[in-house]
């Protein structure tokens, strides 16, 4: 049976993604930090970890990419969850009584216009569900939290408003991580990370190995190389599976232009522009 580690308190959006895509029977293991997710799987305390890597509104979750390099877990699946933020208060609270709102910084950023419209003070919290849990314990009539409707059910909070995010098309992308490669699927993506020498055209030549084989890059992200100041690592998502001959040829050729290359996984891709 799957036991999936996720960051946050019960009721976090990661848990909502687990239940929606892996089934409500899936056992969930809350963790305090992203790093703990990796450690729980490597210790055998969880079979998988669900890691948020990108939001369509606020961009990359940078610590996630650093941890993908630090720990040797394999990406087994891509999950895209539509995020619909709810405004939660304690039972009996009313919208006109709210003076402050608390949540994870990304949730606050995704609802910035709504918060500004009401003139509320925004207070950062460690995570959305944790903020909901603290509010339930405090019974503060003047404080609301931005979290999932699942969190409202778990902590007995009242939903004051639904779908309050500034952009209605708001999605978070997750990687399901495990210790072994996923089975082959034709509708796949491959994620890898590489570094190049500091010479003119190095990145151009790397990307050209994919272009000449008609392999579509869906994403490229640069991150500082913590071992070498002012050097950078490039994280790339490519449509196709490692087992496909064009991908094998591209990766073999890529080794000629890189100083470091590591495959992070070939996995089932989610549907484009919406939940799969």
Instruction: Please tell me the distance from the alpha carbon of residue 53 to that of residue 59, in angstroms, as a whole number.
Output: 9
Instruction: Please tell me the distance from the alpha carbon of residue 110 to that of residue 122, in angstroms, as a whole number.
Output: 12
Q: Which residue of the set 6, 38, 174, 175 is catalytic?
A: 174
3-state DSSP call for residue 41? Answer: helix
3-state DSSP call for residue 57? Answer: coil
Question: Strand pairing partners for 3?
Answer: 27
In order, the DSSP letters of 109-138 are HHTHHHHHHHTPEEEE-S-HHHHHHHHHHH
3-state DSSP call for residue 202? Answer: helix
Q: Residue 27 in contact with residue 45, Cβ under 8 Å?
A: no
Q: Look up 174 and say whether it is catalytic.
A: yes
Number of neighbouring beta carbons within 10 Å of residue 142: 12
Q: Which residue of the set 102, 128, 172, 196 is catalytic?
A: 172
3-state DSSP call for residue 67? Answer: helix
> How big is the chain by its Cα radius of gyration, in Å?
21
- 194 contact partners, CB below 8 Å, separation of at least 6: 206, 233, 234, 236, 254, 258, 260, 261, 262
- Could you tell me the two tokens for 221? 């992200």
The CA-CA-CA angle for residues 40, 221, 122, to 5°, reads 70
Residues with catalytic annotation? 172, 174
């Amino acid at each position: 049976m799957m036991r999936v580690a996720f960051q946050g308190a019960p009721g976090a959006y990661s848990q909502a993604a687990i239940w929606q895509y892996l089934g409500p029977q899936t056992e969930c293991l809350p963790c305090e930090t992203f790093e703990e997710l990796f450690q729980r799987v490597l210790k055998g305390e969880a079979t998988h970890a669900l890691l948020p890597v990108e939001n369509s509104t606020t961009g990359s979750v940078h610590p996630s990419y650093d941890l993908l390099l630090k720990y040797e877990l394999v990406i087994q699946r891509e999950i895209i969850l539509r995020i619909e933020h709810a405004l939660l208060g304690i039972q009996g609270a009313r919208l006109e009584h709210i003076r402050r709102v608390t949540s994870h910084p990304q949730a606050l950023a995704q609802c910035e216009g709504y918060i500004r419209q009401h003139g509320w003070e925004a207070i950062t919290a460690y995570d959305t569900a944790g903020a909901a849990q603290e509010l339930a314990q405090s019974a503060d009539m003047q404080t609301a939290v931005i979290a999932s409707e699942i969190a409202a059910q778990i902590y007995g909070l009242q939903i004051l408003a639904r779908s309050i995010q500034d952009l209605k098309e708001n999605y978070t992308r997750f990687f399901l991580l495990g210790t072994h490669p996923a089975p082959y699927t034709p509708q796949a993506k491959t994620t890898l990370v590489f570094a190049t020498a500091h010479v003119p055209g190095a990145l151009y030549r790397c990307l050209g190995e994919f272009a000449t084989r008609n392999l579509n890059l869906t994403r490229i992200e640069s991150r500082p190389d913590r071992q070498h100041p002012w050097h950078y690592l490039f994280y790339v998502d490519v449509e196709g599976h490692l087992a496909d001959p064009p991908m094998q040829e591209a990766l073999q050729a890529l080794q000629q232009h890189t100083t470091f290359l590591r495959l992070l996984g070939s996995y089932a891709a989610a549907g484009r522009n919406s939940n799969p």
